[in-house]
Structure 1
Amino acid sequence: MGAITWRNRAATAIGVALALVVAVLVATPGESRAQVSLNVDLASDAGPSTGVGLGFLYGVTGDGTQPSNALLEPLRMNAFRAGGHMTRGWIEDGYRYGPATQTIVDSLVSQAERFTAEPYEAQYQVILSDVYGAYGGQGANTMYPCDNGDCSNWATFVRTIAGTLRDTGMPMSYDIWNEPDIDIFWTRGINSPQYFQMWDTAVREIRAVDPDAVILGPSFAYTPDRRPEQWQTWLAHTKTANTLPDWIANHTLGVIDDPVTVGEDTLEMLAANGIPELPMSANEYQPSNMQQANVLAWYLARFAQSDYTNALRGNWFCCLTPNLTGLLTQTANGWQPTGLWWTMRAYADMTGTLVDTSGQVGGTAISAAKDSAEERVVTVIGDINGRTGSTSVRYDGLSATPWLVSNGNVHVRVERIPEQAPLSAPQVVFEQDMSAAGGSITVPLNIQQAHDAYTVYLTPGGQGGGDDSGALRSAASNRCLDVPNQSTTNGTRLQIYDCWTGANQQWTATANGELSVYSGANRKCLDASNGGTANGTQAIIWSCHGGANQRWNRNANGTITNAASGLCLDVSGAAAANGTPVILWSCNGGSNQRWTLQ
């Protein structure tokens, strides 16, 4: 959970226990492999896209007013989990309802008033153990629920909180005790007689006071596949005692807790105990040491294909800082998005209907959704291992989305989301119309950095402009992209040179993504030499053939990126002298990678 004490103390203990699987499940970060081919079948529906993963554990101010709607609404938050954290609540008040508890209740009400209403209509999960004050670091003399077999004070606490929140008229969900299998939160033993006294009492009190409330649990830190006996004991007792929760809630914080696998294992364990399927909440996900865009994209892609009903990002910056669990970073101009925010923003655009994909190839996960009302298909791609290199996405079944094809074309935009804070916008690395004549298209992308996430947007064709001609002027030197000595020989390496009106500096950007020089029989295209996708690949001229290494995207920030590699057209070494070679290089925002066609 989000307490500083949990993150600094318990994280070490649980990390050691789970780290044994890292070598098996996680490859070397940044490992480059052979091209990965991914598939999306637009004709094969996989159910509604419900945004599983668009939830948060804390990460807003206590009064719920920050972050602003401008930063929160685009994420379509659908679940929120909190329990105060500004006081020790019931413990601080001497185990009665006093000002410390009232402060927390006021916070819960303020947050719920915002988040359970439109446009969010989120499930609000109250962490009762946090309201009680047991969020890690409580004193050794703390009285725990049902100590010495006496549950009366605990029953009063649960009844008072549930009744007070019921009277607000807002829908409430209750998470009874967070991570009882971690002893800094619950010191009386998991699945001990006292634990079950605590659990059963809380369930019965909530159901008596507010029958409409949703109860979630057990909120174990460990998944069923990691501690099957623990889960088996808990399920057997709660079934027999008639205190099963309405939703199953658990964490997916281990390295690596795959939401698809964990969800399947949990439902199988329910079935083995004769328990029908229940809604499931992954109420904390993504490990503390894997807070990168590629990892978040992987989790979101997997959650979209899992059996979970909702999922909430864990908070490793806990708890009342309005950074949306680390998706925002504070600057002189206030809170600003990071690469993590943009990754979740793209996933939030996955509205409409999920479609079948290749799921996971190696460590690369992909999910996609089509939305005829919005006239778009949105795809999210993330590699859990930090793989870099060439990747392709084949979209089949275009006949099932006739609204996506215009004049025989589909418009494709590929966005790279780097691990960067702040990040003003994703980098468009490929954008052009592609022919849908064959009923499918294959979109190339090149994963440049280990922590990159990628998104692909398909929209109706015909959004590209016509031919545009002029000199390509470098922002760094004010010199122009130049074919030395006005050569027309294939393989001639390009350079920058003082601008003039010669034909060897006049470039034409075509609707299909080419940048060509000269005309007629001498027409040549800007070409990544030998189809290279590595830093330092030479920019040359070559007879036009329509290959991906001759297709270029002119981006709003002035960069020009190659369709095959995603690399930027770059003046080598950021030099400004006449004759400096022009190459391809990882995009870095430098002025030597910005160009103007004029």
Structure 2
Amino acid sequence: MAATLPAAGSAAAADPQRLTVDLAASEGPVMLGANGALYGLSDDGVPSDAALAPLKVTSISQKPEGGAQHPNGDALTVSKSFFRNGGGEINVMMQDIYAKWPYEDLGIDDYLPKVDRIAKEVAADPNSDRFVYIPFNEPDQIWYKLGVSDQAQYEANRDRFFKDWKTVYERIRAIDPDARIAGPNEAAYHTRLLRDFLAFAKRENVLPQVMTWHELGSGSLRDFQAHYDEYRSLEREAGIAPLKINIDEYANRRDLSVPGQLVQWVSMFERNKVYANAAYWDAAGNLSGHVVRSNIPNGGWWFFRWYAGLTGDTVKVTPPQADTIDTLQGLASLDTSRRQAQVLLGGSAGDSDVVVKNVSRSVFGRTVTATVAEAAWSGYEGQHATPRILSRTKVKVADDGTVTVPLRGMHKMSAYRIVLTPAGTGSPSPAAVPWSASYEAEDAAITDGKVYTQGTVGNANGYAASGTKDVGSLNTATSKVAFTVTVPKDGTYDLAILYGNQSGRPATQQLSVDGGTPATVTYPSTENWTYRAKNDVGVELSAGTHTLTLAKGDAEVTLDRIDLTARTGVPSAQYEATLADISGTPSYDYSSSAGVGTGALVLRSGDKAVFDVYAPRDGYFTVVPQATAPVRLALHGETVTTTPGKPLRLYLVAGNNRVALTARHAAVRSLDVSGNGSTTGTLSYEAASAALAGGAELVDSPYASAGSYIGSLGNGPGSTAEFTVDAPRSGRHVLVVHYAHNDRRDNGHAYNTDIMSRTATIKVGDGTPVTATFKNTWSTDDYWTLGVPVDLKKGSNTVTFGNTSAWAPNIDRIELGRVVG
């Protein structure tokens, strides 16, 4: 999926686009305002702490406690995990107390008691100062119809809204005198209303502390800058000091999860220093489509991880075409204390030159290392490994202070990161970029299937699809899609299939090479046919041209694209220490560019570096800190000291793992991780081995690993499942629960799934029970995993699952792996 290879001197058939970065033109401190989400959290643990913390989310929008609009995502409930993971503030969507969409209009007298209850609950919270009240949502369309063209009718509707705004505003302030209130929160930017609103709110002393409106259509990529500029002029016209702005809903389905689309939105918001929350179109709890399951990154997550890694000041970026839909855009930062410059860009295919101006020799020296990586689109529910490094090159700073980094063969749906650091002596390890190629399903030979067009500029709320098309209706016995592929040499290739499966259970297709014996490919369920996921399988191919056929198996599967990548050995990744999250006051040493090329991070007592380490599955991986002295490594609540270069065998959970390093005094260059997720040495127990009580029962299922799962668990204090596990050694373990459930509550929202989570208490021996949250798996026959750290003693231990007040998830089996294997 990452075929782009930037290299000095690359030739292009046409003149490349040029994106210019001026390191001398500061736009102010990096704000990270554009990383928010509407209903980004659904429960404590969905998304996981490890998926949430790295993004440094500055704001989210959630419903009030007990709100009927959705079954979860209550602001006070999710605040615990949000604040625990460094979150900024929470917007309370007060009208989401209502069940219907659009909200049922029962009059202001019905709404005011609800306002009172919400304000009292928020004001009583110990973190009340970190909540923002949003009294009205899209009043231009809901209740007040402020978008009417008839001026007299508009004024009547406007005056009704203004009267209610003042009433609700004063009601909130009477209960919570320090309340911050946001509005008017229209569905789009409207000059007419905003001019009138600012004048009214100033006159009546009910001015919001945060100005909000929505930017949802593709046209916002063209128009937002003009909206922002005009709004600031309206403030000046009204004699109002600049208010904080939160675009508390932005982007459509075709944008979410797509790095190349997201960079266009984020760059314009960060440039103008406004906050922004991505919209909620489908499922709560995945940060608006950027977290797979609860803990697994997709391409969009990695883009936001890069965004969260910007430090210092943002600097001016001049794209080839400003304020133009679906074009190359970017943002950049300069941190002189760390001696780093970073550029994030994307949104266009083809070739580009990134020209970085005013590269200070006092900061960077005469030569820099340019490190380029790609975050590709992997679907909404498709896992994305650590972004591949495409190149590490030492580049001389030109006499005029410029550095040019060429990018060739960019992918439209990808985002790219360029990091510039002082080069020092030595040479960085060359980037190992395996051969890769992509093939669109709509361009393949299709039998008994149909090509559909998905998200486009004209249909922005359609789902994203590679090339804007996919192949569906593969629902007859003869349905198949045959791809003609050409590979350069004999060997094993990783085949990534972007697909959708709305059958309600695992679905299969038959994969054959050149008409040979087919192999069964099994696809886990997805939200719908177009909520794209990614399935990874391996195929053996000889050099030359082949036909890869995916034929219908036991159910319909939608196909979007396949990617073939040459397998070059055991999967591995190097995580640069100088780009890790830090606390304390570590220093940055660029005297040598060996290894990852970005120098070394010098840790002393009191310093800490935290790495985000991806694992494709639960299991053991080899972890090697490249350090000059012993370091202490912390993972899953376990701490281990290792000597320089010594491999550690550590248990990682599927998805993201937060690995912390500390030291008395050590220069750390990178954290190197390799492996396939070995289960050697783990303990595994099937559902049938558990002792069941209180109505919990063993249920036969062909989809369970050993033919049965534990069902009807919980919903009462006596309903439990107790596993007896035999630990060869005492210590910290990860308990991996294979589970399924498909709880939903239909609120009648055509564009929301309203999925629900289940919880279970887990008790080891006589220890204190812990509560774990299990996200909906889209189907009762699809088993996901959740890892929970536990402590086991040597010998026999009991692990008991239950839930006294609600149903626990169905449990297929459990595994336990000691953190340090």
Contact 1:116 1:124 (8 Å CA) reproduced: no
How far apart, CA to CA, are the structure 1 residues paired with 2:242 and 2:350?
Answer: 41
The letter of the residue matching 2:241 is P
SS state of the match for residue 220, structure 2? coil
Aligned to 1:428: 389
Give the TM-score, by structure 1 length: 0.64
Q: Cα RMSD over matched residues? A: 3.7
The letter of the residue matching 1:251 is H
Contact 1:297 1:344 (8 Å CA) reproduced: no
Distance of aligned partners of 1:214 and 1:447 in 2 relative to their CA distance in 1, 3 Å threshold: farther
How far apart, CA to CA, are the structure 2 residues paired with 1:475 and 1:312?
Answer: 37
Quick check: 1:417 aligned with 2:375? yes
- Of structures 1 and 2, the one scoring higher in RCO (CA 8 A, sep 6+) is 1
Aligned to 1:484: none
Quick check: 1:272 aligned with 2:230? no
How far apart, CA to CA, are the structure 2 residues paired with 1:306 and 1:144?
Answer: 37
How far apart, CA to CA, are the structure 1 residues paired with 2:228 and 2:295?
Answer: 34
How far apart, CA to CA, are the structure 2 residues paired with 1:123 and 1:217?
Answer: 16
Aligned to 1:327: 290
Counterpart of 1:169 (choices 126, 143, 157) is: 126
Aligned to 2:356: 395
How far apart, CA to CA, are the structure 2 residues paired with 1:107 and 1:443?
Answer: 46
Contact 2:341 2:420 (8 Å CA) reproduced: yes
Displacement of 1:159 in angstroms is: 2.6
The letter of the residue matching 1:454 is Y
Contact 1:260 1:305 (8 Å CA) reproduced: no
Distance of aligned partners of 1:169 and 1:86 in 2 relative to their CA distance in 1, 3 Å threshold: closer
Distance of aligned partners of 1:84 and 1:466 in 2 relative to their CA distance in 1, 3 Å threshold: closer
1:90-119 Cα shifts (integer Å, max 9, x gaps): xxxxxxxxxx9xx98x932232233345x5
Contact 2:144 2:158 (8 Å CA) reproduced: no
How far apart, CA to CA, are the structure 2 residues paired with 1:587 and 1:429?
Answer: 21
Displacement of 1:591 in angstroms is: 1.7
How far apart, CA to CA, are the structure 1 residues paired with 2:434 and 2:410?
Answer: 23
Displacement of 1:59 in angstroms is: 2.2
Contact 2:57 2:88 (8 Å CA) reproduced: yes
Quick check: 1:107 aligned with 2:74? yes
Which protein has the bigger strand share?
Answer: 2
Displacement of 1:136 in angstroms is: 0.9
Distance of aligned partners of 1:338 and 1:590 in 2 relative to their CA distance in 1, 3 Å threshold: same
Quick check: 1:56 aligned with 2:41? no
Aligned to 2:784: none
- Please identify, of 295-304 and 232-241, the stretch whose mean Cα deviation from structure 2 is larger: 232-241
Aligned to 2:141: 182
How far apart, CA to CA, are the structure 2 residues paired with 1:466 and 1:129?
Answer: 55
Give the TM-score, by structure 2 length: 0.47
Contact 1:394 1:441 (8 Å CA) reproduced: yes
Quick check: 1:284 aligned with 2:265? no
The letter of the residue matching 2:350 is G
Aligned to 1:234: 197
Quick check: 1:449 aligned with 2:411? yes
Quick check: 1:68 aligned with 2:48? yes
Aligned to 1:77: 57
SS state of the match for residue 398, structure 1? coil
Q: Which runs of 5+ in 2 are unaligned?
A: 1-12, 148-153, 437-484, 495-539, 545-560, 572-821
Counterpart of 1:370 (choices 309, 315, 334) is: 334
How far apart, CA to CA, are the structure 2 residues paired with 1:415 and 1:473?
Answer: 11
Q: How does 1:237-248 map to 2 (within 5 A)?
A: 237-248=200-211
SS state of the match for residue 195, structure 2? helix
Distance of aligned partners of 1:388 and 1:85 in 2 relative to their CA distance in 1, 3 Å threshold: farther
SS state of the match for residue 193, structure 2? helix
Displacement of 1:359 in angstroms is: 4.8
How far apart, CA to CA, are the structure 1 residues paired with 2:435 and 2:565?
Answer: 9
Displacement of 1:203 in angstroms is: 0.8
Distance of aligned partners of 1:85 and 1:179 in 2 relative to their CA distance in 1, 3 Å threshold: farther
How far apart, CA to CA, are the structure 2 residues paired with 1:396 and 1:473?
Answer: 28
Distance of aligned partners of 1:157 and 1:463 in 2 relative to their CA distance in 1, 3 Å threshold: farther
SS state of the match for residue 294, structure 1? helix
SS state of the match for residue 326, structure 1? coil
Quick check: 1:263 aligned with 2:260? no
How far apart, CA to CA, are the structure 2 residues paired with 1:587 and 1:430?
Answer: 24
1:426-465 Cα shifts (integer Å, max 9, x gaps): 2322212212253321000124322121111112314864
1:60-88 Cα shifts (integer Å, max 9, x gaps): 123x3321221111111011110159752
Aligned to 2:213: 250
Aligned to 1:340: 300
How far apart, CA to CA, are the structure 2 residues paired with 1:328 and 1:257?
Answer: 24
How far apart, CA to CA, are the structure 1 residues paired with 2:123 and 2:232?
Answer: 31
Q: How does 1:503-542 map to 2 (within 5 A)?
A: none
SS state of the match for residue 255, structure 1? coil
How far apart, CA to CA, are the structure 1 residues paired with 2:120 and 2:48?
Answer: 30
1:180-229 Cα shifts (integer Å, max 9, x gaps): 1223x667987444322321111111222222221100110111xxx322
SS state of the match for residue 372, structure 2? strand
Distance of aligned partners of 1:68 and 1:404 in 2 relative to their CA distance in 1, 3 Å threshold: farther
Quick check: 1:195 aligned with 2:161? yes
Q: Which runs of 5+ in 1 are unaligned?
A: 1-31, 90-99, 146-150, 477-534, 540-556, 558-572, 578-585
How far apart, CA to CA, are the structure 2 residues paired with 1:463 and 1:329?
Answer: 41
Contact 1:474 1:594 (8 Å CA) reproduced: no
Counterpart of 1:218 (choices 184, 204, 217) is: 184
The letter of the residue matching 1:411 is T
Contact 1:432 1:464 (8 Å CA) reproduced: no
Displacement of 1:58 in angstroms is: 0.8
Contact 1:55 1:78 (8 Å CA) reproduced: yes
Contact 1:286 1:313 (8 Å CA) reproduced: yes
Counterpart of 2:364 (choices 395, 398, 404) is: 404
Contact 1:40 1:393 (8 Å CA) reproduced: yes
Identity of aligned residues (%): 23
SS state of the match for residue 233, structure 1? helix
Distance of aligned partners of 1:354 and 1:392 in 2 relative to their CA distance in 1, 3 Å threshold: same
Contact 1:38 1:361 (8 Å CA) reproduced: no
The letter of the residue matching 2:278 is R
How far apart, CA to CA, are the structure 1 residues paired with 2:377 and 2:83?
Answer: 31
The letter of the residue matching 2:311 is T
Contact 1:260 1:307 (8 Å CA) reproduced: no
Contact 1:154 1:198 (8 Å CA) reproduced: no
The letter of the residue matching 1:109 is L
Distance of aligned partners of 1:253 and 1:242 in 2 relative to their CA distance in 1, 3 Å threshold: same
How far apart, CA to CA, are the structure 2 residues paired with 1:361 and 1:71?
Answer: 34
Displacement of 1:50 in angstroms is: 0.8
SS state of the match for residue 74, structure 2? helix
Distance of aligned partners of 1:474 and 1:54 in 2 relative to their CA distance in 1, 3 Å threshold: closer
Contact 1:475 1:594 (8 Å CA) reproduced: no
Aligned to 2:756: none
Contact 2:48 2:295 (8 Å CA) reproduced: no
Quick check: 1:296 aligned with 2:276? no
Counterpart of 1:158 (choices 107, 115, 120) is: 115
Distance of aligned partners of 1:85 and 1:316 in 2 relative to their CA distance in 1, 3 Å threshold: farther
SS state of the match for residue 325, structure 1? coil
Contact 1:48 1:352 (8 Å CA) reproduced: yes
How far apart, CA to CA, are the structure 1 residues paired with 2:48 and 2:264?
Answer: 27
The letter of the residue matching 1:127 is M
Displacement of 1:138 in angstroms is: 5.0
Contact 2:373 2:417 (8 Å CA) reproduced: yes
Displacement of 1:372 in angstroms is: 3.2
Distance of aligned partners of 1:52 and 1:137 in 2 relative to their CA distance in 1, 3 Å threshold: closer
The letter of the residue matching 1:114 is S
Contact 1:33 1:389 (8 Å CA) reproduced: no
Displacement of 1:173 in angstroms is: 0.8
SS state of the match for residue 61, structure 2? strand
How far apart, CA to CA, are the structure 1 residues paired with 2:428 and 2:317?
Answer: 33
